[in-house]
């Protein structure tokens, strides 16, 4: 028989255990509620109808239209989430449906004090991010890590010392971080932590292991990538798994890109490329549509039967030393326009994804450019069309054709108009007149039932008609879209 003091102590312990159990059940219920609430949406997947394109798990087409939106400029939670909502609202209002976020950015980072310890309060910010994304019909590509050094005075944004043994972490150096069993197991535990919370959330477009993995100053990252991509697939069977590499701006990148793009568990072949006057490759100095389209064609040359995305682009000061100074003059958004249109019309699975979401897109209020791309591809089902990309070099325009089973879509870009002419030299765009395109190169449809032209600079459609094996274009400035149904 218990005495009264022991009895009271027993009841206190029991009550404490019951309360802890109830709290745990409540938290699990909240997580399950989030999962169940989100699970009524379809997931994004590689299309079984055509593996070069994406679709939703209900079979409807999905063309990602969006940009990098890594984190808000303000660090306070309420203010930062308000920044994100403002951007989401503007993107969604202009028919955008995709963003990329770095979950390793300090605003979101769950692992910010101690290596292997995860912050519940930071996780709640991610919960709110996904809730906002769902509200505005946006899918989120989640990048898990981005650091390049343990210690760095030059690039503090790229340093993360907590994983080093000097800060209580498991790694002696970066080679150890990627190659040792204990460090690999710890990263897998982090993946499993995210799985517990978000495994059934279709707001997640994909999980991306690392930002620009080949820029990390450590050996063994390729084998590490193979191991962790497989782990992502085990833990997130409904989500895509990805890896990214640094800007394709020199010849040494080619072999790295080929190897990573061809990895079986890397679901999307991604490429980063910028207008960069300090780049080794001269193509990075020229017209933005040319450098963007060439990056997509490079990945196509690897014969990889998977979707391709230009996942980072835009313009930088030489050697990526800052945002492009001429952004301030680009009030029309010609750089963003070329980044959006050129990759898709060169055979990518979606619009190109610009960097500098805050310094350029939001600052210049260029959200309308996303609407213009969405308008150009409205009602298009790329997997059903089995699209074939064809390039025609006309004396006055570069013509990027997409030829499908029932649709021919083309984007015509004025060769004389470019960032250099319009922004650096101040030469305004001129009207393009009297262009007739011959169509034998793209096997022109014999029985076109509907011919339309879309001007993405005026947001206007107009009817057209075919000639005998050719098509006469209306007047336009900068660029024009042709749409033929047959």
Q: Per-residue DSSP letters for 11-66?
A: HHHHHHHHHHHHHHHHHHHHHHHHHHHHTTSPPEEE-SS-TTSEEETTS-B----E
Cα(322)–Cα(186) distance, integer angstroms: 34
The 10s digit of each residue's pLDDT in 40-53 is: 899 999 999 999 99
Residue 260 located in a structural domain: yes
335 with 357, same domain: the answer is yes
State the pairing for strand pair 204-210/240-242: parallel
240 shares a domain with 224: yes
Task: Return the CATH number at 469.
Answer: 2.60.40.1180
- 75 shares its domain with 107: yes
pLDDT tens string 408-440: 999 999 999 999 999 999 999 999 999 999 876
Place 12 in a pLDDT band, splitting at 50, 70 and 90: low
Do residues 321 and 398 share a domain?
A: no
pLDDT(6) > 80: no
Query: 251: Cβ–Cβ under 8 A, 6 or more apart, which residues?
Result: 280, 281
pLDDT for position 152: 81
Distance from first CA to last CA of the chain, Å, rounded? 90
Instruction: Give the pLDDT confidence score for residue 444 in this predicted structure.
Output: 53
Q: Is the confidence at residue 26, as pLDDT, over 70?
A: no
Q: Which residue did the predictor score with more confidence, 10 or 271?
A: 271
The answer to whether residue 34 scores a pLDDT higher than 50 is no
pLDDT in the model for residue 217: 86
Q: Give yes or no for residue 270 having a pLDDT over 60.
A: yes
What per-residue confidence (pLDDT) applies to 469? Answer: 81
Query: Do 27 and 57 sit in the same domain of this protein?
Result: no
Q: Is 370 in the same domain as 409?
A: no
If one compares 343 and 441, the residue with the highest pLDDT of the two is 343
Average pLDDT over residues 475-484: 97
**Which residue segment(s) compose the domain that 222 sits in?**
43-378
Q: Kindly state whether residue 171 falls inside one of the protein's structural domains.
A: yes
Q: pLDDT band at residue 31, thresholds of 50, 70 and 90? A: very low
pLDDT category of residue 39 using cuts at 50, 70 and 90 = low
Residues 110 and 27 in one domain: no
**Average pLDDT value over all residues in the chain:** 92
Q: Is the predicted pLDDT of residue 29 greater than 50, yes or no?
A: no
- C-beta separation of 399 from 435 below 8 A: no
* Cα 354 off chain centre by: 8
Residue 384 lies in a domain: no
List of long-range contacts for 315-319, beta carbons under 8 Å, 24+ apart: 315/274, 315/275, 315/276, 315/288, 315/356, 315/419, 316/274, 316/275, 316/276, 317/277, 317/278, 318/276, 318/277, 318/278, 319/276, 319/278
pLDDT tens digits, one per residue of 247-269: 999 999 999 999 999 999 999 99
Helix%, strand%, coil% for the chain, nearest 5:
40, 20, 40
Residues with Cβ within 8 Å of residue 316, at least 6 apart in sequence: 274, 275, 276, 322, 323, 324
Residue 468 has pLDDT above 90, yes or no: no
Packing angle of the helix pair 334-345, 288-300 (nearest 10 deg): 30
Say whether both 162 and 80 belong to one domain.
yes
> Which of 351, 378, 405 is where one domain is finished?
378
The count of structural domains within the chain is: 3
- The rounded distance, in Å, linking the Cα atoms of 339 and 265 is 27
In sequence order, what are the beta bridge partners of 275? 315
Residue 29: CB atoms within 10 Å: 10
CA–CA separation, 66 and 363 (whole Å): 16
**pTM summary value:** 0.91
> What residue has token string 């760095």?
152
Under 8 Å between Cβ of 417 and 430: yes
| % of the chain exceeding 90 in pLDDT | 86
68, 216: one domain: yes
Give mean pLDDT, residues 169-188: 97
Q: Which of 200, 382, 376, 398 shows the shortest CA–CA distance to 290?
A: 398
Contact yes or no for 206/240 (Cβ under 8 A)? yes
91 Cβ neighbours under 8 A, 6+ residues apart: 66, 67, 69, 99, 136, 138, 367, 370
214 part of a folded domain: yes
Contact 389, 396 (CB under 8 A): no
Examine the domain organization and report whether 171 and 233 are in the same domain: yes
Residue 385 is assigned to a structural domain of this protein: no
Q: Using alpha carbons, select from 403, 483, 386, 415 the residue that is nearest to residue 440.
A: 403
The CA distance from 68 to 296, in Å, is 18
* Same domain? 352 vs 440: no
277 domain residue, yes or no:
yes
H/E stretch holding 244: none
How far apart are alpha carbons 399 and 482 in whole angstroms? 10
Please write the tens of the pLDDT for every residue from 99-114.
Answer: 999 999 999 999 999 9
Do 219 and 352 have their domain in common? yes
What is the 8-class DSSP label of residue 72?
A: -
Listed residues 326, 353, 378: the one ending a domain: 378
pLDDT for 449: 80
Question: Is residue 143 very low, low, confident or very high in pLDDT (cuts 50, 70, 90)?
Answer: very high
Instruction: Report whether pLDDT(445) > 70.
Output: no
- Does residue 181 lie in a domain region? yes
Over the stretch 345-400, which tens digit does the pLDDT of each residue have? 999 999 999 999 999 999 999 999 999 999 999 999 999 999 999 999 999 999 99
> How far is 209 from 153, CA to CA, in rounded Å?
25
CATH number of the domain encompassing residue 240: 3.20.20.80
Of the candidates 191, 194, 183, which has an alpha carbon nearest to the alpha carbon of residue 150? Answer: 183
- Residue where one domain finishes, among candidates 327, 354, 378: 378
One-letter-per-residue 3-state SS of 183-196: HHHHHHHHHHHHHH
DSSP H or E run through 231: helix 221-235
């Amino acid at each position: 028989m218990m005495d009264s003091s022991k009895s009271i102590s027993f009841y206190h312990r029991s009550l404490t255990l019951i309360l802890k159990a109830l709290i745990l059940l409540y938290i699990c219920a909240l997580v399950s509620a989030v999962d169940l609430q989100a699970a009524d949406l379809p997931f994004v997947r590689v299309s079984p109808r055509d593996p070069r394109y994406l679709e939703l798990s209900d079979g409807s087409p999905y063309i990602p239209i969006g940009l990098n939106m890594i984190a808000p400029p303000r660090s306070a939670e309420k203010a930062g989430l308000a920044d994100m909502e403002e951007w989401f609202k503007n993107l969604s209002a202009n028919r955008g449906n995709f963003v990329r976020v770095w979950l390793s950015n300090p605003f979101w980072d769950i692992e910010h004090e101690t290596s292997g310890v995860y912050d519940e309060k930071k996780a709640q910010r991610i919960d709110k991010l996904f809730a906002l994304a769902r509200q505005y019909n946006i899918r989120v590509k989640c990048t898990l890590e981005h650091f390049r050094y343990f210690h760095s005075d030059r690039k503090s944004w790229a340093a993360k010392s907590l994983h080093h043994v000097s800060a209580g972490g498991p790694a002696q150096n970066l080679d150890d971080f990627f190659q040792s069993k204990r460090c690999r197991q710890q990263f897998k535990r982090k993946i499993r932590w995210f799985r517990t919370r978000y495994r059934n959330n279709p707001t997640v477009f994909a999980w991306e292991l690392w930002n620009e993995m080949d820029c990390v100053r450590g050996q063994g990252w390729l084998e590490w990538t193979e191991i962790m991509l497989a782990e992502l697939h085990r833990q997130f069977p409904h989500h895509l798994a990805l890896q990214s590499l640094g800007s394709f701006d020199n010849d040494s990148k080619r072999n790295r890109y080929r190897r990573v793009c061809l990895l079986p568990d890397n679901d999307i072949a991604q490429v980063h490329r910028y207008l960069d006057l300090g780049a080794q490759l001269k193509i990075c100095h020229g017209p933005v549509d040319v450098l963007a389209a060439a990056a997509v064609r490079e990945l196509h040359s690897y014969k990889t039967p998977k979707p391709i995305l230009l996942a980072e682009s835009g313009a930088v000061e030489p050697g990526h030393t800052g945002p492009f100074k001429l952004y301030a003059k680009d009030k029309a958004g010609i750089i963003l326009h070329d980044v959006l249109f050129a990759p898709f019309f060169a055979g990518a699975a979606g619009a190109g994804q610009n960097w500098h979401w805050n310094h350029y897109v939001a600052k210049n209020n260029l959200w309308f450019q996303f609407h213009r791309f969405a308008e150009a591809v409205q009602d298009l089902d790329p997997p059903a069309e089995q699209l074939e990309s064809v390039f025609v070099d006309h004396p006055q325009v570069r013509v990027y054709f997409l030829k499908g089973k029932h649709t021919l879509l083309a984007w015509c870009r004025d060769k004389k108009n470019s960032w250099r002419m319009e922004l650096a030299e101040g030469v305004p765009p001129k009207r393009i007149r009297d262009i007739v395109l011959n169509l034998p190169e793209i096997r022109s449809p014999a029985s076109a039932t509907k011919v339309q032209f879309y001007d993405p600079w005026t947001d206007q459609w107009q009817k057209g008609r075919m000639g005998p094996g050719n098509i006469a274009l209306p007047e336009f400035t900068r660029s024009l879209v042709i749409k033929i149904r047959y």
